[in-house]
């Protein structure tokens, strides 16, 4: 055995160290970079309140939009709901809902009980669009720019902190871009 | 004022740690004994101040001192006192302080229990421990001070301890785990000291062994506690997720297991030194890597503490300094061995070498699986997770191979074992194992190749262990007398291996024959899982000390008889509005029955998870048995009366002992 071989562990450790160093500061919860910067996947789904009306990706053209994935079976969505109501009423944000793997009657009852913060709600009973968006659970919220490109994804409840620190600055920026 | 005292105590501990890492080391290198003599008092002093800081943090928690930011973030006045106590290590800063407390406790233990060691050696070992303490004390003081105040706006109440952590499993899990992690620092310190003064001999291996074994025993229990906690608390009945942080604890365990075995060879036969010392460095480096991964936010995990780039960078620097310095020392100082193989074919050395090859392969495999997503991300090839399938398909064969080898290795002799003799020796255990395994597999309702392989491995290890025990305890004065004559370290090995067999059996049976069903049930419904019927009687509500709970009542029936009533819950914690699922379990040695409530679907119907988990307890009990084995091994007499034997040990034989008695513990 040569002494030079004894340096192998050191070399391996240094290489690993470089990789680990590069990993610091990246946010591991943003697993979904695949979709960011890409247009919303194409879809064709009915509106929740009006089953005759067919919605598609054109919905996201022209305005900065929050796409909120929710469902009546989701307790965190119930927790998030009042904040969305406040957002739509006072902040003038356009929010589109995506009712994910839900039943229509439950969802309509939910609006009756709690109010409706959404301009329009896509009804995705089988979770098709949710799948294409890579949703792992409700609630999730996407920021979509005026040309229909996904800019940001937030997993979990949107509350005041998330709004102030993550969503609001981004929306302001997207709105001021080439306007 | 108390929190400030805590901070001052930490700073004083840091000063003592700096002295400890310099003064005795300089003394040992220059041969000045009066400087070496500082090692023990400095180690004690450092421990006292760290313990004081820890005590003051405990005090802040128990007295609800919400002016301390860490207390305000992790406790609440409504918590019962024992959760206030365990909340001390419920977040990053406090758990780091616990880490340091245990590190200084190990340092103190080394100072106390190694009176017989040469002064040069002990001063170097304690100096190295002191250096590690300096690193972590700097880390806590500079980036993670648990005593930071929230002044002048003191919150009226705390943000509460994460409900997941309000649990007995979590009171115990981190201290046990850290005892293991930190314990490997002792083997590391011995390795560094031995490299510095060039004494990589049998005596060094003998000093390192008990420390390694204790650390390993704690780590075994710590991992098992974590797994047990995940099983009943996370609410879906899984007991191992190959989560990066679980892997982070498994990595030093695997390397530590390899180290224990390799130390045995180095002690008994004086070989594998270069390899053993590398393993000692690796085992502790992996402990540090685990700490880094949990606290830096580089990986996604249920365990991850809030990610903070500053802390991550600091820890990585600490890791880098430790690893690079020790591996550089290793590269220059480790002996370059030119031995012609003094260990003939099929000697016990060969079996232990293969054991090491397999364990290190397993370590590499888990390490690669854990870090691969990071590497991909670094190369900008996207984020992804390596899931369970990768680990299950690659880890299982290695585990089985290790077990099969173990069964044969137990019978082997040092230096040389006759192949024909070994083959004949293995015949009966082999036959018995095949029969028992077949019976077990049929009993559990069907042949599955992996189930057969896994159960066979467990049975094989157990049968071989008992067979060897029966061989060794044969005595003219009767069996009992023969059993009494076995050394504690031999018993340690027996228990260690039996524990492993239990764990393998539990893992195999529950993975292959467990049943889980997700069903939609309303009160009044009955669902069947295997031989068991679950009748959903009703939903009710109750009020806990800091939560409100909705709970279900389930009658579990088998063969028309009611065998258990279970009350799974959904709790809503009043502070922070967090919702927790509390599964209810009817536990037993032969099987667990598990019920958890999921979401409320509609009209009183709930998503319910029902599970039948055969033999699941064995996988944790096995770890406990392994740990008991570890404690048996270190209580062996030879670690106490050994001055005499110190020199002769280097030659690999103990005088005045028959060869048979010499085949004592290898584990």
Tallying the residues shown for chain B, one arrives at: 667
| CB-based burial label for B128 (10 Å; 0-12, 13-18, 19+) | buried
The region, left, alpha or beta by phi > 0 then psi within -120 to 50, assigned to residue B446 is left
Residues 149-178 of A with CB under 8 A from B: none
pLDDT in tens, B646-666: 444 444 443 333 333 333 333
Determine contact: A179 vs chain B, CB below 8 A: no
Residues 465-484 of B with CB under 8 A from A: none
Give me the residue from A1, A10, A20 closest to B331, CB to CB.
A10
Shortest CA distance from A71: residue in chain B: B601
Q: Given an 8 Å threshold on Cβ–Cβ distance, is A6 in contact with B338?
A: no
**Cβ atoms A98, A129 nearer than 8 A:** yes
Cβ-proximal residues to B309 (8 Å cutoff; 6+ apart), any chain: A24, A25, B296, B297
Q: Given an 8 Å threshold on Cβ–Cβ distance, is A19 in contact with B374?
A: yes
Q: Given an 8 Å threshold on Cβ–Cβ distance, is A27 in contact with B299?
A: no
Over residues B65-88, the mean pLDDT reads 89
pLDDT in tens, B441-498: 999 988 899 999 999 999 999 999 999 999 988 888 888 888 888 889 999 999 999 9
Over residues B178-188, the mean pLDDT reads 95
Determine contact: B71 vs chain A, CB below 8 A: no
Q: Given an 8 Å threshold on Cβ–Cβ distance, is A79 in contact with B334?
A: no
Task: For chain B, report the end-to-end CA distance as a whole number of angstroms.
Answer: 50
The region, left, alpha or beta by phi > 0 then psi within -120 to 50, assigned to residue B636 is beta
**Where is pLDDT greater, at B364 or B372?**
B364
Task: Flag whether pLDDT at B625 surpasses 90.
Answer: yes
Over residues B428-437, the mean pLDDT reads 95
- What's the rounded Cα separation, in Å, for the pair B344 and B205? 22
Q: For the packed helices B273-296 and B348-378, what is the interaxial angle rounded to 10 degrees?
A: 30
Lowest mean pLDDT among B12-16, B489-493, B603-607: B603-607
- What's the rounded Cα separation, in Å, for the pair A28 and B309? 12
Over residues B205-223, the mean pLDDT reads 95
pLDDT in tens, B564-603: 999 999 888 776 556 777 889 999 999 999 998 877 777 7
- What's the rounded Cα separation, in Å, for the pair A47 and B614? 48
Q: Give the per-residue pLDDT at B657.
A: 38
- CA–centroid distance for B126 within its chain: 24
Q: Give the per-residue pLDDT at A137.
A: 61
Two tokens at B254?
């695997």
Q: Given an 8 Å threshold on Cβ–Cβ distance, is A25 in contact with B316?
A: no
Q: Given an 8 Å threshold on Cβ–Cβ distance, is B330 in contact with A6?
A: yes
Per cent of chain B over pLDDT 90 is 55
Q: For the packed helices B449-472 and B419-443, what is the interaxial angle rounded to 10 degrees?
A: 130
pLDDT in tens, B370-400: 887 777 666 655 545 556 678 888 899 999 9
Nearest Cα neighbor of A68 from A136, A153, A173 is A153
Q: Render the burial of B449-483: b for 16+ CB within 10 Å, e for the rest.
A: eebbbbbbbbbbbbbbbbbbbeebbeeeeeeeebe
Task: Flag whether pLDDT at B6 surpasses 80.
Answer: yes
Number of C-beta neighbours around residue A21 at 10 A: 17
Q: Given an 8 Å threshold on Cβ–Cβ distance, is B313 in contact with A9?
A: no
Between the CA of residue B166 and those of B69, B87, B219, B228, B585, what are the distances in Å? 20, 8, 22, 15, 18
Residue B483 three-state SS? helix
Nearest Cα neighbor of B574 from B605, B528, B543 is B543
Q: Give the per-residue pLDDT at B460.
A: 97
Nearest Cα neighbor of B295 from B98, B50, B483 is B98
DSSP state of B563: E
Over residues B85-113, the mean pLDDT reads 93
Residue B614 three-state SS? strand
Task: Flag whether pLDDT at B556 surpasses 90.
Answer: yes
Lowest mean pLDDT among B393-407, B408-422, B596-610: B596-610
**Where is pLDDT greater, at B646 or B66?**
B66
Give me the residue from A9, A24, A79 closest to B312, CB to CB.
A24
Average pLDDT, chain B: 86
Cβ-proximal residues to B153 (8 Å cutoff; 6+ apart), any chain: none
Q: Which residues of B touch A134 (CB under 8 A)?
A: none
Q: Give the per-residue pLDDT at A178.
A: 59
Residue B527 three-state SS? strand
Residue B604 three-state SS? coil
Give me the residue from B300, B327, B378 closest to A22, CB to CB.
B378
Shortest CA distance from B312: residue in chain A: A24
Determine contact: B317 vs chain A, CB below 8 A: no
Q: Please give the helix or strand (H or E) that residue B233 lies within, else none.
A: helix B202-233
Indicate if ipTM > 0.90.
no
**Cβ atoms B289, B275 nearer than 8 A:** no
How do the pLDDT tens digits run along chain A, 179 residues long? Answer: 578 888 888 998 888 888 777 766 555 444 445 677 788 888 889 999 888 888 988 899 888 999 999 988 776 787 788 889 888 888 888 999 999 878 888 898 888 888 899 999 999 887 778 777 777 667 888 999 988 888 888 877 788 878 888 888 888 888 887 55
Q: Which residues of A touch B298 (CB under 8 A)?
A: 20, 23-24, 26, 28
Two tokens at A65?
């939009």
Q: Render the burial of B596-630: b for 16+ CB within 10 Å, e for the rest.
A: bbbbbbeeebbebbbbbbbbbbbbbbbbbbbbbbb
Q: Given an 8 Å threshold on Cβ–Cβ distance, is A31 in contact with B385?
A: yes
Shortest CA distance from A31: residue in chain B: B383
User: pTM of the entire structure?
Assistant: 0.80
Helices (H) and strands (E) in chain B, counts: 20, 10
pLDDT in tens, A47-91: 998 888 889 888 998 889 999 999 887 767 877 888 898 888 888
Over residues B44-64, the mean pLDDT reads 96
Q: Which residues of A touch B384 (CB under 8 A)?
A: 31
User: For chain A, which domains are there?
Assistant: 32-176 (3.40.30.10)
Two tokens at B393?
């398909």
Residues 62-91 of A with CB under 8 A from B: 73-75, 79
Q: Give the per-residue pLDDT at B40.
A: 94
The Cα angle at residue B326 between residues B323 and B332, in degrees rounded to 5: 135
Mutate to test the interface with B, among A5, A11, A16, A70 (most CBs of B within 10 A): A16
Query: Is the peptide bond preceding residue B359 cis, with omega within 30 degrees of 0?
Result: no
Give me the residue from A6, A20, A75 closest to B298, CB to CB.
A20
- What's the rounded Cα separation, in Å, for the pair B12 and B2? 15
Residues 99-128 of A with CB under 8 A from B: 103, 106
Give me the residue from A2, A3, A24 closest to B316, CB to CB.
A24
Domain ranges of chain B: 1-161, 516-616
Number of C-beta neighbours around residue B339 at 10 A: 11
Q: Given an 8 Å threshold on Cβ–Cβ distance, is B298 in contact with A73?
A: no
Q: Please give the helix or strand (H or E) that residue B516 lies within, else none.
A: strand B515-521
Q: Give the per-residue pLDDT at B184.
A: 96
Dihedral (Cα; B197, B199, B205, B211), 10-degree rounding: -20
**Cβ atoms B182, B211 nearer than 8 A:** no
Residue B554 three-state SS? strand
Q: Given an 8 Å threshold on Cβ–Cβ distance, is B331 in contact with A9?
A: yes
Q: Give the per-residue pLDDT at B414.
A: 87
Q: Give the per-residue pLDDT at B604.
A: 80
């Amino acid at each position: 055995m040569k002494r030079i071989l004894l340096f192998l562990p050191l070399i391996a450790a240094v290489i690993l160290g470089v990789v680990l160093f590069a990993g610091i500061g990246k946010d591991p919860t943003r697993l979904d970079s695949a979709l960011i910067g890409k247009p919303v996947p194409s879809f064709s789904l009915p509106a929740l309140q009006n089953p005759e009306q067919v919605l598609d990706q054109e919905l996201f053209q022209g305005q900065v939009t929050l796409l909120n994935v929710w469902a009546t079976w989701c307790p965190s969505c119930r927790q998030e709901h009042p904040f969305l109501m406040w957002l739509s009423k006072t902040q003038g944000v356009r929010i589109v809902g995506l009712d994910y793997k839900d039943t229509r009657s439950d969802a309509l009852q939910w609006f009756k009980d709690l109010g409706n913060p959404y301009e329009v709600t896509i009804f995705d009973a089988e979770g098709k669009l949710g799948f294409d968006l890579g949703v792992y659970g409700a609630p999730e919220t996407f920021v979509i720019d005026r040309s229909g490109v996904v800019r940001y994804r937030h997993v979990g409840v949107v509350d005041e902190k998330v709004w102030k620190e993550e969503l609001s600055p981004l929306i302001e920026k997207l709105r001021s871009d080439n306007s | 004022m108390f929190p400030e005292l805590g901070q001052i105590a930490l700073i004083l501990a840091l000063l003592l740690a700096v002295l400890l890492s310099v003064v005795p080391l300089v003394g040992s290198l220059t041969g000045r004994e009066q400087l070496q003599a500082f090692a023990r008092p400095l180690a004690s002093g450092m421990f006292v101040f760290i313990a004081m800081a820890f005590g003051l943090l405990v005090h802040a928690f128990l007295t609800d001192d919400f002016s301390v930011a860490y207390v305000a973030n992790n406790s609440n006045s409504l918590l019962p006192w024992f959760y206030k106590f365990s909340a001390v290590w419920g977040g990053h800063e406090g758990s780091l302080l616990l880490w340091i407390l245990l590190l200084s406790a190990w340092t103190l233990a080394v100072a106390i229990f190694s009176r017989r060691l040469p002064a040069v050696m002990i001063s170097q070992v304690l100096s190295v421990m002191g250096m590690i303490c300096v690193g972590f004390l700097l880390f806590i003081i500079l980036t993670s001070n648990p005593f930071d105040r929230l002044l002048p706006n003191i919150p009226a109440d705390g943000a509460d301890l994460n409900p997941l952590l309000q649990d007995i499993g979590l009171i115990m899990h981190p201290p046990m785990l850290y005892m293991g992690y930190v314990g490997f620092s002792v083997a590391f310190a011995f390795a560094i000291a031995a490299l510095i003064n060039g004494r990589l001999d049998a005596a060094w291996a003998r000093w390192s062994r008990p420390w390694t074994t204790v650390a390993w025993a704690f780590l075994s229990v710590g991992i098992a506690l974590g797994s047990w906690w995940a099983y009943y608390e996370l609410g879906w009945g899984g007991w191992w997720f190959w989560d990066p942080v679980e892997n982070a604890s498994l990595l030093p365990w695997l390397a530590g297991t390899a180290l224990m075995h390799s130390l045995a060879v180095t002690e008994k036969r004086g070989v594998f030194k270069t390899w053993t010392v590398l393993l000692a460095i690796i085992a502790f480096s992996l402990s540090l890597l685990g700490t880094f991964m949990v606290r830096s936010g580089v990986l996604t995990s249920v365990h991850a503490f809030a990610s903070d780039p500053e802390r991550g960078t600091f820890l990585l620097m600490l890791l880098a300094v430790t690893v690079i310095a020790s591996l550089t020392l290793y590269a220059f100082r480790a002996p370059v061995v030119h031995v012609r193989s003094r260990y003939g074919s099929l000697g016990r050395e060969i079996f232990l070498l293969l054991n090491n090859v397999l364990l290190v392969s397993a370590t590499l495999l888990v390490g690669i699986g854990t870090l691969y997503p990071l590497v991909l991300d670094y190369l900008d090839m996207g984020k992804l997770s390596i899931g369970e399938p990768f680990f299950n398909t690659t880890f299982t064969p290695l585990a089985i191979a290790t077990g099969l080898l173990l069964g044969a290795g137990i019978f082997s002799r040092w230096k040389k074992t006759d192949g024909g003799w070994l083959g004949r020796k293995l015949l009966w255990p082999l036959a018995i194992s095949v029969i028992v395994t077949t019976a077990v597999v049929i009993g559990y309702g069907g042949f599955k190749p992996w189930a057969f392989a896994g159960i066979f491995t467990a049975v094989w290890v157990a049968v071989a262990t008992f067979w060897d025990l029966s061989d060794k305890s044969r005595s003219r004065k009767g069996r009992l007398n023969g059993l009494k004559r076995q050394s504690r370290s031999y018993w340690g090995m027996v228990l260690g291996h039996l524990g492993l067999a239990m764990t393998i059996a539990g893992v195999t049976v529950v993975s292959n024959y467990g049943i889980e069903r997700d069903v939609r049930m309303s009160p009044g419904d009955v669902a069947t899982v295997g031989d068991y019927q679950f009748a959903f009687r009703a939903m009710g509500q109750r009020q806990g000390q800091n939560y409100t709970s909705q709970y279900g009542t389930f009658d579990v029936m088998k063969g028309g008889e009611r065998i258990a009533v279970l009350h799974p819950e959904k709790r809503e914690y009043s502070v922070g509005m967090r919702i927790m699922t509390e599964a209810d379990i009817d536990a037993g040695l032969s099987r667990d029955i598990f019920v958890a409530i999921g979401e409320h679907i509609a009209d009183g119907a709930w998503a319910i998870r029902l599970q039948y988990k055969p033999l699941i307890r064995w996988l944790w009990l096995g770890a406990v048995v392994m740990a008991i084995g570890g404690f048996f091994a270190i209580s062996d007499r030879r670690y106490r009366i050994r001055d005499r034997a110190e020199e002769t040990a280097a030659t690999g034989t103990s005088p005045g002992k028959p060869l048979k008695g010499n085949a004592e513990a290898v584990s």
